[in-house]
Amino acid sequence: MTTTHLDALHEAVSRLDAVWADAEDAAHLDRAALIAANEVLGRLRRVTDGLQAEVAAGIAHESRTELGAESLAKQHGFRTAAKLIAATTGASSTDASRLVTVGEATATRSDLLGAPLPAKHPAVREALNTGSLGAPAAALIVELLDRVQFRVAADDLQDAERLLVDKATALSLDEVRKLIARAEAHLDPDGIAPREENARAQNSLVFSERRGRLHLEADFDLPTGATIKAALEGHTTAVFASRANAIDPDAPDADRRTIAQIRAEGLALICAHALGCDNDAPALAGATVIVRVNLDDLTTGTGYGTIDGIDQPISIGAVRRLAANGGIIPTVLNTDSDILDWGREKRLFTRTQRLALTERDGGCAMCTLPPSMTRAHHINWWNRDHGTTDLNNGILLCDNCHHRIHDNDWTIHIDGTSTTAHVWFIPPPHIDPTRTPRLGGTARYTLAA
């Protein structure tokens, strides 16, 4: 254990003591104290994660196979170090193995003569020591770097590690997974196609009857699954639109199906259409698979593409297969033929502007819902603020985040121009007294600095 780790641990405990000083339990904390307690507990957890990973690496070293009966794990009645760690921490064996991986990747080393060497992943180590990165996120970064280490130049790998750590400290674990997917495609675009071929070979759809019901167990590669997802999301959107237009939504016969029920019945309706049956199912307005790819990459067959609403990038081969199955609508943004700034001449954002906003924001710029579930909004309101219908005054938001921003007085700042601009959400003082900006849009998952 390092002094840095212990200092961070003591600091976090002291802050927690200060937050909890006048309260018996969390039920007696006011709102400000709840937020402060949540932040310091998060930091405390990340610090202890780092300590646990360091200890786990030590246990693994003392339990290595060549020690035989002298293995620390075996002396305590466990077959492996992961089993010992899992039993004492309450984690799964898989999570315990990841702790060992993180601990070994961030431990100090020595050469054959005993001279000290830096950790294999020094940026990850520093973030763990200070409590700015937890072990689960660190494991995702370490696993990615290890996967691509022989296909990426050493300097590029070091730059990627620092950038990934910097971005991951401000993201949830789910968002870190999305960041890792984009980063792997950026670092190793040639590896996407082989992974897709392997994934496509594992596609399956199994029917079984149990207790008078038909069960479907499906597993698809992303390009295949994207068309299914788009069709069912389009059906669900159409159903919700019809609900919104209902004369009496509280009527006894009003549609109260859950999203899962709507999707299930939508699948049956789509299959009925394929069989030639007539029915009055709602049209799948907007049920389109939108694939984004650089024109040079598409022409040369290099690089990768992305599907709106899907985290994992896809190969150029998959892009071309999807294009062969549907129509191609070329869109060249920010040229003389596509106006992205209309000033006060137009009130509503145009289709071209919305495509540009989707390129920049990736969907809801705040919560990452897919573009089909968002609307283009003026940052400075059209009526109240005399806002313009320009790209830098527009943003894609879902209805929930739109209300959340206005109800709580968040501020939105656009840094840069066109589709490469960065979207920043600035919380109000009652949420964050420091008003630290939070990055939104696709910039959260872009590896380039």
User: Quick check: helix, strand or coil at residue 363?
Assistant: coil
Quick one: pLDDT at residue 338? Answer: 56
Reading the chain (449 residues) residue by residue, the pLDDT tens digits are 444 677 888 888 888 888 887 777 888 888 888 888 888 888 888 888 888 998 999 999 999 989 988 999 999 988 889 999 999 888 888 889 999 999 999 988 777 777 788 889 999 999 998 888 999 999 999 999 999 999 889 899 999 999 999 999 888 998 999 899 889 988 888 888 888 888 888 999 998 878 878 888 999 988 888 888 888 888 888 888 777 776 666 777 677 888 899 999 888 888 767 665 544 444 444 456 678 787 788 888 888 888 777 778 888 888 887 776 555 555 554 444 455 666 776 778 888 788 888 888 888 999 888 787 788 899 988 887 888 888 888 999 988 888 888 888 899 999 987 778 899 999 998 888 899 999 998 888 877 54
Measured N-to-C along each axis, helices 222-244 and 192-200 cross at an angle, to the nearest 10 degrees, of 80
- What is the bridge-based pairing of β-strands 394-397 and 291-293? unpaired
Which tokens is 377 given?
């909004």
Rg (CA), the chain: 26
Measured N-to-C along each axis, helices 122-130 and 3-19 cross at an angle, to the nearest 10 degrees, of 30
Domain parsing of the chain, residue ranges? 3-169, 204-274, 291-325, 351-445
Instruction: Please tell me the pTM assigned to this model.
Output: 0.69
Residue-wise over 152-176: b if at least 16 C-beta within 10 A, else e?
Answer: beeeebeebbebbbebbbebeeebb
Contact assessment for residue 341 and residue 391, using Cβ atoms and an 8 Å cutoff:
yes
**What is the DSSP secondary-structure string of 187-247?**
H-GGGHHHHHHHHHTT-EEEEEEETTEEEEEEE--HHHHHHHHHHHHHHHHHHHHHHHT-S
Measured CA angle at 246 (ends 242, 251), to 5 deg: 125
Type of residue found at 163:
L
Type of residue found at 209:
E
Q: How many CB atoms are closer than 10 A to CB 41?
A: 15
* CA nearest neighbour of 427 among 416, 439, 417, 435: 435
Find tokens 């246990």 and name the residue. Answer: 59
Q: What is the DSSP letter of 444?
A: G
